[in-house]
Structure formats: C-alpha cells, structure tokens
Chain A
Amino acid sequence: QQPVQSPQAVILREGEDAVINCSSSKALYSVHWYRQKHGEAPVFLMILLKGGEQKGHEKISASFNEKKQQSSLYLTASQLSYSGTYFCGTEDRGSTLGRLYFGRGTQLTVWP
C-alpha cells in the first residue's frame, strides 16, 4: 500500500531542476505532495485528482498518470527554501477520503 518514491535523495545547486517520482501498485483516487522541514509537520503542496492532471505552484508542479498509477513532482529553478524532505501520499480508489499512505520520502538539499 505504501507508494514507492525515487530518488531517495537529491543534491542541487540553486537554480537547477529536479524530478521526484512516486508510483503505486494500487488504483489511485488521488496523489498528494508534501514538503517537510526538519522537526516540523509536513506542509501541503498540492493534490492531483484526475489522470493526466497537472498542477503548478510557483516553480513547483506535478503530474498524475492515473493509468500507470504514477505521479511526478517537478521543481524548476530550485531555491534554497526548497530544501527539505518531499513525500507523496496516495489515496487508494475506494478508500476513506483523506486516508493517505506515504512514500519513504526524497531528501532534497539545495546549495547556494
């Protein structure tokens, strides 16, 4: 039930791009993306509900391939503030609304 995230860690220079992938073995209703800073609770980034949906928030965007049960998070022109651990949370089709299973996370470090 836990989705698989890759890569496990990414190190970037400010201004570089990164892609984080999330895949599930189950049919999905939605995919959520969160960023967590050390010692803090996760912060909601976005939710994707429909296959083929793409969303963006500043320079962070995501896509959802419903058929392949995959989602990708795109970070472009990364900023220092993007550093943290990114988690995808998947909501299985037919499950309780809001019940999420999280991937192991991708640790993103952005250097100046």
Chain B
Amino acid sequence: GAVVSQHPSRVICKSGTSVKIECRSLDFQATTMFWYRQFPKQSLMLMATSNEGSKATYEQGVEKDKFLINHASLTLSTLTVTSAHPEDSSFYICSAPSRDRGRDTQYFGPGTRLTVL
C-alpha cells in the first residue's frame, strides 16, 4: 500500500527558531497534500492544502507567514514553522490522497512532534 513519511519524527527547539518538517509520498505521486495540527487530546485541525507547483491554500485563522508551505515536487511538501513559540508546540501530521487499486484513500504520515522551549 501507499506510504507517506515525515521527517523529523520529533524536534525540540528554542523559541524564535524556525523548524522545517518534510512530508514525502514514497510510492505514489501527490499533487495535493494536507497539513494538520493536533494538540493533546484534541482533534486534527486542517491547517492548509499544499499544491504542487502553486501556492498553498490556508484555512481561516492559520497565519501563512508563520507556517510556510512549499510543494516543490510531486512527492515532497515541506512545512516551515517560522519563529516558533511555545504555543506552536503540537503534533503536525501531513496526508496525501491516493487512488489505491481503484479506491480513494487518504494516507497519513507518522507525524512530527514539535516542542518549543
């Protein structure tokens, strides 16, 4: 089956630094990928839609200058949290839709746990 990877799986950084998270579709091409954020014991909140070759589409309330998204190829999307602060600490998960054996499926990456000190 299709696999989506994320790197790094865990990152701890100081307040004010920027952190880049990569999301890769390993055996399929994804013109669209999605970025979610999940705080402890809460639901997944859609942050933005990453579009290959064009600008990302951000959900209402998500700062596009703070969460920079780049979808440079059909298999890679990156999320950069700029000038991270403790309130940005969260579990960041990407996903990519795929048609696997004729069925529409959504594959999630394993997630990246960000802790900002």
Contact = CB atoms under 8 A, between A and B. Distances in A.
Q: Which among A42, A43, A98 has the highest number of chain B CB atoms within 10 Å?
A: A98
B106 interface: yes
Contacts of B105: 44, 47
B110 A40 contact: yes
Q: Is the interface of B mostly helix, strand, loop or mixed?
A: strand
B97 A97 contact: yes
Interface size class, chain A: 20 to 34
A40 B113 CA distance: 10
Contacts of A97: 32, 97, 104
B49 A42 contact: no
B93 interface: yes
A42 B43 contact: no
A96 interface: yes
Q: Is the interface of A mostly helix, strand, loop or mixed?
A: loop
B34 A100 contact: yes
Contacts of A89: 44, 106
A31 B60 CA distance: 22
Interface string A45-75: 0010100000000000000000000000000
